[in-house]
Amino acid sequence: MADEKATFKVRESASYGRACNGCYKAKCKCILRGPGLQCERCQRLKQECEPSTVARKRLSRKTAYRTAHLEERLDDLVGLLKSQASGAYNASPNSAPSAHPTFATQPAENWAGEKGSKNKPLAPRASQNLLPAQRPSWNTDPLSQIEPSASQAEQYLAIFQQQHLNNFPFYCISSTTTPAQLQRERPLLWLCIWANGCKSVVQQRVIEVKIRENLARKVLVDLERNLDLLLGLIAYLSWASDKYSGKSLLAVFANIAMSLLSDLKLDRSFREFPCRELDVTKAYSHPIKEKVQLHHRTNEERRAVLGCYIICTTIAWFLNNRPVQWTVHMEGCLQDLSEHPEVPGDRVLVVLTQLLKLTSNLHEVSTWRHIEDPSPQTKPHRSLHVKSLRAVLDKIKSSAPPEILGNKIVLSYVYFTEALINELPLYPLEASQQIGCFDFGRTECFFACLQAMKNCMENFVTFAPEAVHSHPMMLHLHFSRCTHILYRLSLMEDPSWNRGDIPHVIDVLRSIEQCASLYESVSSAIGMETDGSDMYTQAAEILRATKALWRRKFEEAGVILPTTKDQHSNNSTLQADEGIFDLPADGWFADIFHWGEPFSIDT
């Protein structure tokens, strides 16, 4: 009995880490019976009770140890980030694929040779271990799949040099210049040349998206300012495509072009003061203004100045915006190219600039542009400007060489400017300006305007279909504007003229049909790959629908007499065209062939 009580007193559980091997493996409590005795479990199971050979030690979680361990982890992380950054900057484009879309003209440089750039996008280090098949699909530049071959690039450059620049010579490309050389020196301009020469409408739109991306990144993100950006922007805006379907897009790019012209100081003399430089600290370094060394302009810069003025003036006139300001330095560039032409295109550029300058003056006095005037009551009547504007036009024509005036492109500008001058007094007179029922001066301007528009429209439809593709956008706007002037005059009652005389001078419906046929044949003439969504095919459809609508309007107004054949053709064509697309809701029609409120006249 005493032994049992003694056993009961010494009965206790083994401390942590002191259990025997049997209890440790069975994961149960090891109840000790006393020193030198088996535990209760081993005694009950009649097995040997072996003490544990390894004792687990409780770790002391000291704060200092944990802090040191965390700092070590942070040091490793910082070192890893530094190695990634240095690896991305030092890696070549072939060994380190970028995590961002490819920028600038790298796809086009595959055939022209690699071009170094100081602004390389960073790429994660982990992407260096990816196989080509494992790379993300969004990392592939779409231009890399459609890049031209060497022979195609030479063909694009030749077409742009011989056709596009012949119609609008804002830049001079030497006959010895290769596509690779031009692409290295003028990458953005080369992209525009590629877009103009590309025959596929789908590929052309892809290239134009890339042009806008490159331009936005270089100008707004990288803050670059160079002549290539200005030349590329002029080329981008000068030739017809889908870019003219949005007026807001034109306004943005025209403002960027004028901003580049100002930032490059091409709109003023180089004799500037140091305190007017971009570095504001120079205002304190040079409190006394001192003139800098005179720098002479190059002809390349002069052509860029005049080309920028021409395209921005056209867009400002097209959008009913304020005219582009003509500066003294622009006048100097015009005089230098006029007196010392380097290539034959310089003479053409001089005449075009003079005509656009005259058009800008017309823009200011033309009331249907809704230019704000602080004192409209004191403004003289528009007919008073006709004589002086005609004198300026005659001076331009007399000073131009005969071979320049024989150029059909230049003739389109001349005829169109003459039509705008004679159109000025043909707007309805205000009550305060009506001095009589009949005005011989307005009658003379009426017939002079008709003849000028006839010459302009007949000149346009005589171009070959393959030549229309290289026309600058200004020529398309010439034809469009003339048709709408004729539409307005045909529906306007005025005692100074008989609107029934208009069809005897020019048949606007016949001219529209001729233009539609010309546009319709452009795609096949140049071998364009299109599904019918290109500008020329759409323009042909719109013009034919417009012809049907205008014919009905002219018949209702009594301008033309409907016949049985015409009436039948009118009804069938109108129903077919109205079933194809809705003219009032078509944005492309409103932007390209709608010039302003005076043409939406109801009688």
Mean pLDDT over 27-40 rounds to 85
Residue 310 pLDDT exceeds 60: yes
Q: Cβ neighbours of residue 349 under 8 Å, at least 6 residues apart?
A: 169, 170, 303, 306, 307, 337
Specify the length of the chain in residues.
Answer: 603
Q: Report the Cα–Cα distance between both ends of the chain, in Å, rounded.
A: 133
Specify the pLDDT at position 564. Answer: 47
Mean pLDDT over 544-561 rounds to 87
| Token pair belonging to 322 | 């304020």
DSSP per-residue string spanning 126-192: GGGG--GGGS-GGGS-GGGGT---HHHHHHHHHHIIIIIHHHS-SS---TT--HHHHHHH-HHHHHH
For residue 47, give the amino acid letter: Q
Do residues 157 and 179 make contact, with C-beta atoms less than 8 angstroms apart? Answer: yes
Specify the pLDDT at position 563. Answer: 54
DSSP 3-state of 57: coil
Phi, psi of 32 (to 5 degrees): -80, 145
**Bigger pLDDT: 175 vs 269:** 175
Residue 422 pLDDT exceeds 60: yes
B/e letters for 189-207, b = 16+ CB within 10 Å, e = fewer, are bbbbbbbbbbeebebbbbb
**Of the candidate ranges 60-69, 119-128, 268-277, the one whose mean pLDDT is the lowest:** 119-128
Mean pLDDT of the chain: 77
CA angle 459, 462, 467 (to 5 degrees): 105
Do residues 169 and 343 make contact, with C-beta atoms less than 8 angstroms apart? Answer: yes
Mean pLDDT over 23-48 rounds to 86
Specify the pLDDT at position 9. Answer: 52
Residue 400 pLDDT exceeds 70: yes
DSSP state, 13?
Answer: E
Tell me, yes or no, if the pTM score tops 0.85.
no
Specify the pLDDT at position 32. Answer: 85
Specify the pLDDT at position 35. Answer: 80
Specify the pLDDT at position 6. Answer: 46
Specify the pLDDT at position 340. Answer: 92
Mean pLDDT over 498-502 rounds to 86
**Of the candidate ranges 93-102, 223-232, 339-348, the one whose mean pLDDT is the lowest:** 93-102
pLDDT, tens only, 79-89: 777 776 655 44
H runs (alpha helix) in 521-560:
522-526, 535-557
**Rounded distance between C-alpha atoms, residue 302 and residue 295, angstroms:** 13
| 426 pLDDT tier (thresholds 50, 70, 90) | confident
Mean pLDDT over 490-511 rounds to 88
**Rounded distance between C-alpha atoms, residue 258 and residue 545, angstroms:** 37
Specify the pLDDT at position 62. Answer: 58
Q: Cβ neighbours of residue 371 under 8 Å, at least 6 residues apart?
A: 322, 363, 364
**Bigger pLDDT: 428 vs 403:** 403
> Can you say whether the dihedral through the CA atoms of 513, 516, 518, 521 is positive or negative?
negative
Residue 291 pLDDT exceeds 80: no
Mean pLDDT over 194-217 rounds to 90
| Token pair belonging to 306 | 């005049």
CA-closest candidate to residue 54, choices 89, 91, 24: 24
Specify the pLDDT at position 414. Answer: 97
Q: Cβ neighbours of residue 541 under 8 Å, at least 6 residues apart?
A: 516, 577, 580, 581
Mean pLDDT over 392-421 rounds to 94
CA angle 244, 366, 424 (to 5 degrees): 115
Residue 226 pLDDT exceeds 50: yes
Residue 370 pLDDT exceeds 60: no
Do residues 217 and 101 make contact, with C-beta atoms less than 8 angstroms apart? Answer: no
Specify the pLDDT at position 320. Answer: 80
Residue 13 pLDDT exceeds 90: no
Specify the pLDDT at position 86. Answer: 59
Residues linked to residue 12 through DSSP beta bridges, in sequence order:
32
